[in-house]
């Protein structure tokens, strides 16, 4: 595996990492608002758990619908302009979300979240492969982990900011609504509560527009994936995307992983509520998961690749996920929530390991392969839905375990064997290189 001359020179490397890091911070902040948003809409619109969980559905389904169109757009615009365009689309979605919430339209707000997800789909389809091939693909997990620190730092901050601006005093507020003398008085209180969301989303939309202009005018260099991520096979003969089974297994792995991540990060609030924990405590639970992920990223940065390979760390993380899921099932109250939050540590290095492993050697299929991986993010919509419906039939903690256990077992398989599927052995790669004129 080589890095082509099209990769940016060392003088541009640090600035490129800074710009991409800021982008990862932005979409981390937006993404991890979904947890507290679920708590917000459940109270504001009198929703049950199934209806409230339409928040991650609307957000993550957009990745599945729009990832392939995003790849087509990036082929025309290049990665740099594509990132700027993604920020513009996110800004439109944030403005629409504020407007629809102010109009008390839950379905309109779900549509706006789909638009935000559309912008993120374009942004992630560009930025993830970009940072993976910014240097040698074998150390891609380290660079993606640095981006993950930016992402999860924002994820830890987002619930705190949202809690301060929107969910402040939510426990006592819920009691006031229940004690209101009439339905009209209760609705008036809820209207006041709903209006708290408008200006934060308007400000967020304006910030994204400014960032989009900055990225478009920045010195961020273009990288040609077909040069920086050399295709596997003798003399580049493997031209079909279907000739890379490690990619397709990686798509399923991303699907499963994002579901695990959303269960630990976004669903933890509803998980805590179901255990009977107070709302004023529940609103911060997503932050605890994000802090655990931050610790996991720092540990991964220290160990990969000096002590352990990215695929080896992925396998170890999956085993830890199994153990922590059993811990959440076997305990109760805050102890059970602590095990769920600790899953953030187990999940931390999964995306940084899976993405570079899955796109390795795709050559000029890199954008398309990345789009397929981004489509796998729809697992964040579907797996929590399986959980919330299953929890209506069996005890919630048992439902959690039944959803999480198969997911971590598959991730373990990918870390041990799946990432090698269809890949040439080292000896075959040497023979292929020697045979190339």
**pLDDT tens, position by position, 55-70:** 999 999 999 999 889 8
Three-state SS annotation for 380-423: HHHHHHHHHHHCCCCCHHHHHHHHHHHHHHHHHHHHHCHHHCCC
Q: Which residue has the higher pLDDT, 8 or 188?
A: 188
Q: What are phi and psi of 188, to 5 degrees?
A: -60, -40
Alpha carbon distances (Å) from 408 to 40, 215, 254, 319, 340: 30, 37, 11, 7, 14
Residue 5 has pLDDT above 80, yes or no: no
Residue 7 has pLDDT above 60, yes or no: no
Cα pseudo-dihedral 386, 388, 392, 396, rounded to 10: 110
Measure the CA–CA gap between 171 and 175, rounded to whole angstroms.
7
Q: What are phi and psi of 417, to 5 degrees?
A: -130, -40
Measure the CA–CA gap between 1 and 25, rounded to whole angstroms.
30
Tell me the pLDDT of the chain averaged across its residues: 86
CATH number of the structural domain 10-220+243-431 = 1.20.1250.20
Please give the share of the chain, as a percent, with pLDDT higher than 70.
88
Residue 1 has pLDDT above 80, yes or no: no
Three-state SS annotation for the chain: CCCCCCCCCHHHHHHHHHHHHHHHHHHHHHHCCHHHHHHHHHHHCCCCHHHHCHHHHHHHHHHHHHHHHHHHHHHHHCHHHHHHHHHHHHHHHHHHHHHHHHCCCHHHHHHHHHHHHHHHHHHHHHHHHHHHCCCCHHHHHHHHHHHHHHHHHHHHHHHHHHHHHCCCCHHHHHHHHHCCCCHHHHHHHHHHHHHHHHHHHHHHHHHHHHHHHHHHHCCCCCCCHHHHCCCCCHHHCCCCHHHCHHHHHHHHHHHHHHHHHHHHHCCHHHHHHHCCCCHHHHCCHHHHHHHHHHHHHHHHHHHCCCCCCHHHHHHHHHHHHHHHHHHHHHCCHHHHHHHHHHHHHHHCCHHHHHHHHHHCCCHHHHHHHHHHHHHHHHHHHHHHHHHHHHCCCCCHHHHHHHHHHHHHHHHHHHHHCHHHCCCCCHHHHHHHHHHCC
Domain extents for the chain? 10-220+243-431
Determine the pLDDT at residue 304. Answer: 82
Residue 389 has pLDDT above 80, yes or no: yes
Cis preceding-peptide flag for 305 (omega within 30 of 0): yes
Considering just the CA atoms, what is the radius of gyration of the chain in Å? Answer: 22
Determine the pLDDT at residue 54. Answer: 94
Q: Which residues contact 340 (CB under 8 A, 6 or more apart)?
A: 263, 264, 268, 271, 285, 289, 324, 328, 400
Residue 142's CB: how many other CB atoms inside 10 A? 21
Q: Which residues contact 107 (CB under 8 A, 6 or more apart)?
A: none
pLDDT of 289-314, one tens digit each? 999 999 998 998 889 888 998 899 99
pTM of the model: 0.82
Q: What is the mean pLDDT of residues 169-176?
A: 84
Closest CA to 60 of 255, 251, 344: 255
Decide if 49 contacts 66 (C-beta within 8 A). Answer: no
Please give the share of the chain, as a percent, with pLDDT higher than 90.
55
Q: Which residue has the higher pLDDT, 147 or 57?
A: 57
Determine the pLDDT at residue 437. Answer: 37
Measure the CA–CA gap between 433 and 99, rounded to whole angstroms.
58
Determine the pLDDT at residue 4. Answer: 41
Closest CA to 275 of 140, 404, 395: 395
Counting beta carbons within 10 angstroms of the beta carbon of residue 270, is it exposed (0 to 12), middle (13 to 18) or buried (19 or more)? Answer: buried
Closest CA to 157 of 32, 261, 264, 34: 32
Determine the pLDDT at residue 336. Answer: 97
pLDDT of 234-278, one tens digit each? 444 456 888 899 999 999 999 999 999 999 999 999 999 999 999
């Amino acid at each position: 595996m080589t890095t082509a001359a099209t990769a940016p020179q060392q003088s541009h490397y640090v600035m490129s990492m800074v710009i991409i890091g800021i982008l990862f911070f932005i979409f981390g902040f937006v993404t991890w608002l979904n947890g507290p948003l679920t708590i917000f809409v459940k109270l504001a619109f009198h929703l049950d758990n199934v209806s409230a969980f339409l928040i991650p559905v609307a957000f993550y389904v957009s990745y599945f619908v729009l990832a392939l169109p995003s790849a087509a757009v990036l082929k025309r615009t290049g990665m740099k302009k594509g990132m700027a365009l993604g920020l513009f689309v996110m800004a439109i979605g944030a403005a629409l979300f504020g407007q629809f919430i102010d109009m008390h339209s839950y379905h309109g707000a779900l549509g706006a979240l789909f638009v935000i997800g559309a912008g993120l789909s374009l942004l992630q389809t560009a930025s993830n492969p970009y940072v993976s091939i910014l240097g040698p693909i074998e150390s891609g997990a380290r660079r993606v982990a640095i981006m993950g620190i930016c992402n999860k730092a924002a994820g830890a901050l987002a619930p705190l900011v949202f809690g301060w601006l929107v969910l402040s005093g939510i426990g006592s507020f819920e009691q006031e609504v229940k004690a209101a003398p009439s339905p009209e008085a209760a609705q008036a209180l809820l209207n006041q509560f709903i209006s708290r969301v408008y200006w934060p989303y308007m400000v967020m939309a304006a910030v994204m527009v400014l960032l989009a202009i900055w990225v478009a005018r920045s010195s961020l260099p273009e990288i040609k994936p077909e040069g920086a991520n050399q295709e596997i096979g003798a003399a580049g003969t493997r031209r079909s995307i279907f000739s890379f089974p490690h990619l397709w297994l990686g798509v399923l792995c991303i699907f499963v992983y994002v579901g695990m991540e959303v269960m630990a990060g976004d669903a933890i609030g509803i998980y805590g509520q179901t255990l009977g924990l107070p709302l004023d405590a529940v609103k911060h639970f997503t932050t605890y998961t994000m802090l655990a992920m931050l610790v996991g990223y720092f540990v991964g940065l220290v160990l990969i690749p000096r002590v352990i390979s990215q695929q080896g760390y992925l396998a170890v993380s999956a085993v830890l996920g199994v153990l922590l899921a059993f811990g959440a099932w076997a305990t109760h109250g805050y102890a059970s929530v602590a095990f769920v939050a600790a899953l953030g540590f187990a999940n931390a290095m999964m995306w940084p390991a899976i993405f570079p492993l899955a796109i390795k050697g795709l050559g000029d299929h890199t954008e398309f392969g990345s789009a397929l991986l981004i489509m796998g993010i729809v697992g964040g919509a579907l797996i929590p839905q399986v959980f919330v419906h299953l929890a209506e039939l069996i005890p919630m903690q048992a439902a959690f375990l039944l959803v999480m256990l198969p997911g971590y077992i598959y991730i373990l398989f990918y870390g041990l064997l799946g990432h090698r599927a269809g890949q040439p052995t080292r000896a075959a790669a040497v023979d292929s290189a020697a045979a190339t004129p």
